[in-house]
Amino acid sequence: MNILVIGGGGMVGVKLINRLAAEGKLGSTPISKIIRQDVVLAPPPPASGFPIETLIGDLSVPGEAEKLAAMKPDVIFHLAAIVSGEAEADFEKGYRINLDGTRYLFEAIRKVGGGYKPKVVFTSSIAVFGAPFPEAIGDEYFTTPLTSYGTQKAICELLLSDYTRRGFFDGVGLRFPTVCVRPGKPNLAASGFFSNIIREPLAGHEAVLPVGEDVRHWHASPRAATGFLIHAATMDTSKLGSRRNVTLPGVSCTVGEQIEALRKVAGDKVVARIRREPNETIMKIVAGWPRNFEAKRGRELGFEAESSFEDIIRVHIADELGGKIA
């Protein structure tokens, strides 16, 4: 099996490739090659029993998607995107990267022809939903995004469903929770503070909280995110029917509950490193985001996430900090 990871230099892409390299197979099928593509040089590839090829390129540049599709990978993980805050700040870039790049990829796959029909796993987002919300968003709730990023993801969901219906590929769209706690440095995502207020204090650094503690959101760990992708690539997609986009399970909690979970796991000294600094721009963006989901369908389809935010923190400490707290 040949696998293509678009956005292979990002946090989730790197973790996915590391896990595939360690396991040597996808489901029960041995991996023969991984191609990782991104606009920047990814970290060095992990040790593996098969070749891992690195390609540098911008999916939104005409011709790039055709090069990738010509390799005829059996499974394509499409993780590439610019994040929510950047997509909101730069309207043209958001649509070019998040929409046009995805459309170019789908078209390139279609035009290969000759019976080529790969599995395509696309990372969507809970940002496809917009306020006002019920207490918990069900699987039948409509998508009315209130950000450019959410709109771009919603359009791509429709394209994925239609290209799958027409038989051009076998697509699965995953509405990711906010991935938390993200390792590394803060990025331009408006949701970045959800990770910052946990990651930085645990590492001995100060973190800025730009919103109130009553803000509620939907989370899953990077470990769970990798599991989502692998499950989507190996599941029986006939169970999806024509509804190819799935809201994934996660943990719903307020910022205040995040902080209390941090206190229980790491103590008052760590929590004291969080500094309140309200940011009206981020508050406005976050106000239109979903807060809680039933995710019944996702669970029935076999997707799994943590059961508490304390579990999410412990995953971060184990996977990123070697079990140690500063």
pTM for this prediction? 0.95
Looking at every residue in the chain, the average pLDDT score rounds to: 96
Q: Which helix (H) or strand (E) holds 204?
A: none
Edge to edge, what strands does the sheet with 75-78 contain? 52-56, 33-38, 2-6, 75-78, 119-125, 170-176, 245-247
The answer to whether the CB of 112 falls within 8 A of the CB of 74 is no
Kindly compute the dihedral angle of the four CA atoms of residues 301, 302, 308, 314, in this order, to the nearest 10 degrees: -150
Q: Render pLDDT for 126-143 as a digit per residue (tens, 0 to 9).
A: 999 998 999 999 999 999
Instruction: Count other Cβ atoms within 10 Å, centred on residue 236.
Output: 8
| Cβ contacts of 102 within 8 Å, gap of 6 or more | 59, 78, 122, 156, 159
C-alpha atoms less than 13 angstroms from C-alpha of 38 in its C-beta half-sphere: 20
pLDDT over 80 at 301, yes or no: yes
Catalytic residue (one of 95, 116, 141, 149): 149
Rounded to whole angstroms, what are the CA distances from 108 to 25, 38, 112, 229? Answer: 26, 17, 7, 22
10 Å CB burial of residue 133 (0-12, 13-18, 19+) is: middle
116 is catalytic: no
Residue 323 one-letter amino acid: G
What single letter denotes the amino acid at residue 31? Answer: I
Q: pLDDT value at position 1?
A: 97
Segment 232-289, tens digit of pLDDT: 999 999 999 999 999 999 999 999 999 999 999 999 999 999 999 999 989 988 888 8
**What's the rounded mean pLDDT across residues 284-302?**
93
The predicted-structure confidence for 33-91, as pLDDT tens digits, reads as follows 999 999 998 789 999 999 999 999 999 999 999 999 999 999 999 999 998 889 999 99
Q: How close are the terminal C-alpha atoms of the chain, in Å?
A: 42
